[in-house]
Amino acid sequence: MFEDGGLLRRVLAFDAATCAAMGAGLVAGAEPVAAVTGLPAAALPGVGAALVGFAGVLGWLATRATVPEGPVRAVVAGNLAWSVASVALVASGAVALTGLGQAAVLAQAAAVVVIAELEVLGLRRERVAAT
């Protein structure tokens, strides 16, 4: 458990904001997003709703007086799993993504890896500050 949470709280809050924005966009704009990317329109609202829910958890963590390490580690693992699944989606060819769709999926996967790395860095800084 960490009490300051400077970098960690900021990264969790950023992760929450980006998940909420992406999720809301997928829910509200499933058809246009599908048309441009080749992602299946029927799946996008469910994915978007899951992202909004995940954003709620992230926001809750970012606002705790004490940031619990275990749930943050779970967030990092989830972010990394999301990125791996995103790359696998593109590599598998299971979905007929457009060129823009491939680029978008890979770009967001890379961004999520960066966020996960910043969350790990935040955890490390908090651990050092706690000693």
Residue 64 lies in a domain: yes
In tens, the pLDDT along 7-33 reads: 999 999 999 999 999 999 999 999 999
92 domain residue, yes or no: yes
Q: Residue 1: inside a domain, yes or no?
A: no
Which pTM value belongs to this model? 0.90
Count of domains in the chain?
1
Say if 111 falls within a structural domain: yes
Is 31 a domain residue? yes
> Domain for residue 47, yes or no?
yes
Domain range for 14: 6-130
Placement of tokens 């960066």 in the chain: 114
Q: Is residue 14 part of a domain?
A: yes
Please write the tens of the pLDDT for every residue from 53-98: 999 999 999 999 888 999 999 999 999 999 999 999 999 999 999 9
